[in-house]
Structure 1
């Protein structure tokens, strides 16, 4: 009996051996990077901890045996440079690198800086005299030798609106859209007065165009016969008027497309609005009721990318996990420098035009040529395996939240929250950019370039797409073997979960993608040609089943009613749609293939399936 007890004890000991000898590195805002990184003497920066872990692996130290745990204590860890993880930081299946919170802590990795020193009163001539004592101002903080420029600001944790013609994203209909003259004609109103706005050098126009928006920097605004004719800066002026899809609609089923002027001190007239003056950097803010600017926490972002994980096909980054970390406060500045004209899904155009004689060898009827670039992102992952995010929070981010961009496999995002994000919450896979025309089928020389075997499961995604309305909740391009299941995706300006790219019926490597048991609701709030579940192109062996889709919102500025619970857009093929619950059979297919199968979709789907969709509650 004694021998048996000793033998079992030895087995249990061996089972616990890796964790007994795991390396632990601690980081604290009370630490010092000259410390050894222990619990009693922690490091100050995450970057120093990552370097320590890298050195342990390089020297094959005993601490590596059971994995390396970088533990962050409570606090906001402000980053001034993107954290860079490379192949040398890779773990192994038995010895991963885990960046996690100390038990009970809620650490935040932030790209934001505080704005302090607010003063009441503004004598700027652009502000009406009756409002001058209601406006507060402060200098933007210095980083290095420059004032921080920003398009986003948060007051006491809430995003506030840049000064605009209308509150909360309101729009009004334009009068004319003239590609030949590259002008947009708009009504003259009390706050759209060319004389009043002639000195508003940072004025922008947001244009609603079908399934996307454009952000155009205004070059001039001139009165003509009681109307205002608006011209724009390059490069966005050429892009906006040359690309045929999507463009604004004049004389649509529900009227003309709409617009809103924004980003001028002359438009700062409502509580909760703000404006930053260039080049002084001065920020003006009209506080909301109850806000005390002497004590308010005001944050603007100074960094676009918080974390970069970058490997190659031959040397991928492997076995790194983030657990219980919050990522917050990133910026998105490109529209301030070159405008923002997109093709779809938030992808900006590099060039685009209409073919005078339609047709490519791959697609005889094509009339639209477009070259795109990838949106900015808070976390970028390239050339990697087993890069996992668990129990993390992504909030107050101004473009994409998390992007598995290229050649990422066997990775997962589980039990995370994405909220208050300007673009797409989660982007995955190839959307060929640069010199690759986006309608030409993408067939990589090495199939490993496609993102594959990625699991997106049990996440909560809400209030995203609030800067670029044309982005989506979860967006996947050229991908294979995806598992998107049991997520709740809601409160979106366009589509919910989108899989596929390329507008092609040809084989491209996309296959075996699974969209299952998700709950998508309150979508298509501002744009149309939308789908709660949306697909493109040929994806053999793919399934869309047991999802719940409801609360399709009638976008108030849409020029037609093209929005659907399930939308199989151009050339979708190889999908089985089965047991998807929605209140009506509001579906559409745009030139679909012949291998799609529909089985029992609509309000007749059993409640036992309907109510299992969405997140699985954690005990």
Structure 2
């Protein structure tokens, strides 16, 4: 230890003795001993020892960590025994803002020897688990095919022949390997463990439970890892568990003798383990760097009601049964699963001033107990019959997060392993405030609301962009509303909402407020309210690219938002939706799908040209709306205020506050990436897609992202049924069906459909129709005319 550090330690002991003030201070050092008294001169060695000692003292307590790396092989666990009374706090923090790293990585002691073809090997004598490897603090890649490519669109590289017989035949002992793949419809991802080969030489897989819409895996977007025969390039590694030997392909210039090799061990670093009757109270973790936890993708298997999500209830910091516990001014980086997870009962907890990056799954999750939901369903196609449904509003118990706050956090490079993830995930919780966060570079949504239970959230002043980068049919903000009223069959659901209009608000008992945010999604919608999302107030948001989509739901108010270069996407609304869309600026004419009744009010909006306004008025909306080009003060610099005197002000639009998006801490602002502002363009004059008659139905080629989303298709393909007339067509089709093939001929265009019809010999043929998320085959009868 340097003379300066010795002087500081002695000075701390002399001038800050234990109990000298109204608070109690304990000190921890990597050079300390747990037999010490925990003073500045004689600090403890471990955090757990300091926590145990703190239990014997009342009042406010600070646990000061001296500079260094503190390695954990199991999490530090707080229980109700560690609680402080209201007015006092137990704070775990760095001393004098020194750099303190809490790491779950075990340092490996290795003696390297050449193997072959640039690969080296070393015997691992330690009893450690191997799922990730860090070399000098940098994450390396399990041996994989195809090789890791940072610029690849999906999964850092995919190949269709991953499970081909030819490739699998190369694998001598693939057990312990993994197949990672996108969902077939790109709604997230799935993962499988290889347990061996069967007698046909095919790999045996277990898994696929990581997505609540179980449809297997994509045949195109997938890769294999942790197979020895795929170790063939720099920065790849493989651990032979039987031989306890690590194989590694080092990059040029790396000194294997001096490099630090680490393998993460625990999945959590700090855990708050209390309950509703005996919670953990008044503990703050502040000013620390948290890093290197194990991946958890194979433990991600609990379904979240009927959303597309499953989850693993844990993170680098896990809170279950906590009151007034906080993570403040910390950095959570290079963790294998979720960064922070609030499970079941939590009150007045929060995360603020933190950087969360290089994360395997989600940034911050709030997930309540499904037992708190009334008449819960867990899979997309499940539904509790109304006669058996508990129709009491709100939650059944208090076992869920409530009154918590996520404020001023910088989150980026999330979902490195798990693609069904988000910056902030809200499920079975209430009154969560998500404010002034900057979230970008994520594979799916920046902020996701899995279902309406139980509303009351305030989502404001966030800056969310570069989202939906590796998935599809989603938004920078995404929500589902598959609450107890919701039914997977749209016709049945329409009848439910018509007969029992109050059912849609039984779970989302308080409005969800989405205001003063800036969103940009280049691969979907800026704001995407999907299946049944209800009881939203959406106002003063700046949408830079993807517009706003509202699928079926009730009681949504959308007002005073700006949609640059895009528009409003209303999809398959209920006839009694009570929706309101007013005082908004759109960058193109609306793109409705399946709308027969336009809610309570769609008016006083601003269109970019007279043609799109006239089109809306011809449908019976926007009788008081106006048109004007999208002319803003300085859009290149993000100033989307309208110029004084703009006609938009005459219909009630008010300029939006544009300088308060995202993080507020100077140090986080300095690190944050800046959103790209679009060049404002005039709406293109594109002729409406051709529509033809087919068996008494009006059909067209499915061409847009909106049509794909409204139908639930996995891609932009097929022929869309726009409407039907009474008669023959009604026996086969419903509006919003997609015709995938006829007589064995794929129908990806109207010409394909006509050719397929001409190929029919006889009076009938098989037709494949996609409806309510399923493809099914019917036999259609023709009248003898082609």
Give the structure-1-normalised TM-score: 0.76
Deviations 1:545-586 (A, max 9, x none): 11112253x5xxxxxxxx221111221111111222232343
Deviations 1:70-114 (A, max 9, x none): 111011111122211111211123221111110031212221101
Q: Are the counterparts in 2 of residues 374 and 433 from structure 1 also a CA contact under 8 Å? A: no
2:438 paired with 1:488? yes
Aligned to 1:149: 129
Aligned to 1:287: 250
Please point out which of 133, 140, 144 is paired with 1:164. 144
Aligned to 2:348: 410
2:215 paired with 1:215? no
1:141-540 equivalences in 2 (<5 Å): 142=126, 147-166=127-146, 167-168=148-149, 169-172=155-158, 174=160, 186-187=163-164, 193-209=167-183, 210-219=186-195, 230-234=202-206, 236=207, 245-248=214-217, 257-332=220-295, 335=298, 347-348=300-301, 374-430=312-368, 432=370, 437-438=377-378, 447-501=397-451, 508=453, 510-537=454-481, 538=508, 540=510
Q: Provide the secondary structure at the position in 2 that maps to 1:464.
A: coil
2:552 paired with 1:612? no
Q: Provide the secondary structure at the position in 2 that maps to 1:438.
A: coil
> In 2 relative to 1, CA 410–585 (structure 1 residues): closer, same or farther, beyond 3 Å?
same
Find the aligned partners of 1:116 and 1:89 in 2 and give their Cα distance. Answer: 36
Q: Are the counterparts in 2 of residues 90 and 317 from structure 1 also a CA contact under 8 Å? A: yes
> In 2 relative to 1, CA 528–160 (structure 1 residues): closer, same or farther, beyond 3 Å?
same
Q: Provide the secondary structure at the position in 2 that maps to 1:482.
A: strand
Q: Provide the secondary structure at the position in 1 that maps to 2:57.
A: helix
Q: CA deviation at 1:375?
A: 4.2
> In 2 relative to 1, CA 244–408 (structure 1 residues): closer, same or farther, beyond 3 Å?
closer
Q: Are the counterparts in 2 of residues 372 and 438 from structure 1 also a CA contact under 8 Å? A: no
Q: Provide the secondary structure at the position in 1 that maps to 2:52.
A: helix
Find the aligned partners of 1:243 and 1:22 in 2 and give their Cα distance. Answer: 49
> In 2 relative to 1, CA 416–295 (structure 1 residues): closer, same or farther, beyond 3 Å?
same
Find the aligned partners of 2:227 and 2:27 in 1 and give their Cα distance. Answer: 46
Q: CA deviation at 1:499?
A: 2.2
> In 2 relative to 1, CA 449–220 (structure 1 residues): closer, same or farther, beyond 3 Å?
closer
Find the aligned partners of 1:115 and 1:573 in 2 and give their Cα distance. Answer: 52
Q: CA deviation at 1:309?
A: 0.8
Please point out which of 574, 581, 589 is paired with 2:542. 581
> In 2 relative to 1, CA 369–401 (structure 1 residues): closer, same or farther, beyond 3 Å?
closer
Q: Provide the secondary structure at the position in 2 that maps to 1:528.
A: coil
Query: Using CA pairs below 8 Å that are at least 6 residues apart, which structure has the higher relative contact order?
Result: 1
RMSD: 3.2
Find the aligned partners of 1:314 and 1:463 in 2 and give their Cα distance. Answer: 37
Q: Are the counterparts in 2 of residues 211 and 246 from structure 1 also a CA contact under 8 Å? A: no
Q: Are the counterparts in 1 of residues 71 and 103 from structure 2 also a CA contact under 8 Å? A: yes
Q: CA deviation at 1:452?
A: 1.1
Q: CA deviation at 1:414?
A: 0.6
Q: CA deviation at 1:332?
A: 2.5
> In 2 relative to 1, CA 536–371 (structure 1 residues): closer, same or farther, beyond 3 Å?
closer
Q: Provide the secondary structure at the position in 1 that maps to 2:50.
A: helix
Find the aligned partners of 1:528 and 1:371 in 2 and give their Cα distance. Answer: 15
Aligned to 1:590: 551
> In 2 relative to 1, CA 402–27 (structure 1 residues): closer, same or farther, beyond 3 Å?
same
Q: CA deviation at 1:221?
A: 6.8
Deviations 1:169-199 (A, max 9, x none): 3444648xxxxxxxxx9556xxx62331243
Q: Are the counterparts in 1 of residues 536 and 556 from structure 2 also a CA contact under 8 Å? A: yes
Q: Which moved more, 1:24-33 or 1:605-614?
A: 605-614
Find the aligned partners of 1:96 and 1:546 in 2 and give their Cα distance. Answer: 33
Q: CA deviation at 1:380?
A: 1.4
> In 2 relative to 1, CA 290–223 (structure 1 residues): closer, same or farther, beyond 3 Å?
farther
Aligned length: 516
Q: CA deviation at 1:598?
A: 4.0
Find the aligned partners of 2:273 and 2:92 in 1 and give their Cα distance. Answer: 17
Aligned to 2:34: 33
Q: Are the counterparts in 2 of residues 170 and 260 from structure 1 also a CA contact under 8 Å? A: no
Structure richer in strand, relative to its length: 1
> In 2 relative to 1, CA 149–21 (structure 1 residues): closer, same or farther, beyond 3 Å?
same
Q: Provide the secondary structure at the position in 2 that maps to 1:481.
A: strand
Q: Provide the secondary structure at the position in 2 that maps to 1:566.
A: strand
> In 2 relative to 1, CA 260–571 (structure 1 residues): closer, same or farther, beyond 3 Å?
same
Q: CA deviation at 1:481?
A: 1.3
Find the aligned partners of 1:374 and 1:199 in 2 and give their Cα distance. Answer: 29
Find the aligned partners of 2:73 and 2:189 in 1 and give their Cα distance. Answer: 31
Find the aligned partners of 1:109 and 1:41 in 2 and give their Cα distance. Answer: 21
Find the aligned partners of 2:550 and 2:395 in 1 and give their Cα distance. Answer: 31
Aligned to 2:563: 602
Q: Are the counterparts in 2 of residues 274 and 284 from structure 1 also a CA contact under 8 Å? A: yes
Q: Are the counterparts in 2 of residues 372 and 433 from structure 1 also a CA contact under 8 Å? A: no
Q: Provide the secondary structure at the position in 2 that maps to 1:55.
A: coil
> In 2 relative to 1, CA 464–573 (structure 1 residues): closer, same or farther, beyond 3 Å?
same
Deviations 1:508-530 (A, max 9, x none): 4x122111111112222211232
Structure exhibiting the larger radius of gyration computed from Cα positions: 2
Aligned to 1:136: 120
Q: Are the counterparts in 1 of residues 79 and 273 from structure 2 also a CA contact under 8 Å? A: yes
> In 2 relative to 1, CA 243–473 (structure 1 residues): closer, same or farther, beyond 3 Å?
closer
Q: CA deviation at 1:247?
A: 4.0
* Unaligned residue ranges in structure 1 (runs of 5+): 1-17, 58-63, 123-131, 176-184, 250-255, 341-346, 353-365, 555-562
Q: CA deviation at 1:409?
A: 0.8
Find the aligned partners of 2:458 and 2:370 in 1 and give their Cα distance. Answer: 22
Find the aligned partners of 2:334 and 2:520 in 1 and give their Cα distance. Answer: 26
Aligned to 1:78: 71
Q: Are the counterparts in 2 of residues 148 and 281 from structure 1 also a CA contact under 8 Å? A: no
> In 2 relative to 1, CA 382–444 (structure 1 residues): closer, same or farther, beyond 3 Å?
farther
Find the aligned partners of 1:473 and 1:19 in 2 and give their Cα distance. Answer: 43
> In 2 relative to 1, CA 222–536 (structure 1 residues): closer, same or farther, beyond 3 Å?
same
Aligned to 2:530: 569
> In 2 relative to 1, CA 613–369 (structure 1 residues): closer, same or farther, beyond 3 Å?
closer
Aligned to 2:673: none
* Unaligned residue ranges in structure 2 (runs of 5+): 1-18, 150-154, 385-389, 482-507, 565-584, 586-638, 642-655, 668-786
Find the aligned partners of 2:61 and 2:212 in 1 and give their Cα distance. Answer: 51
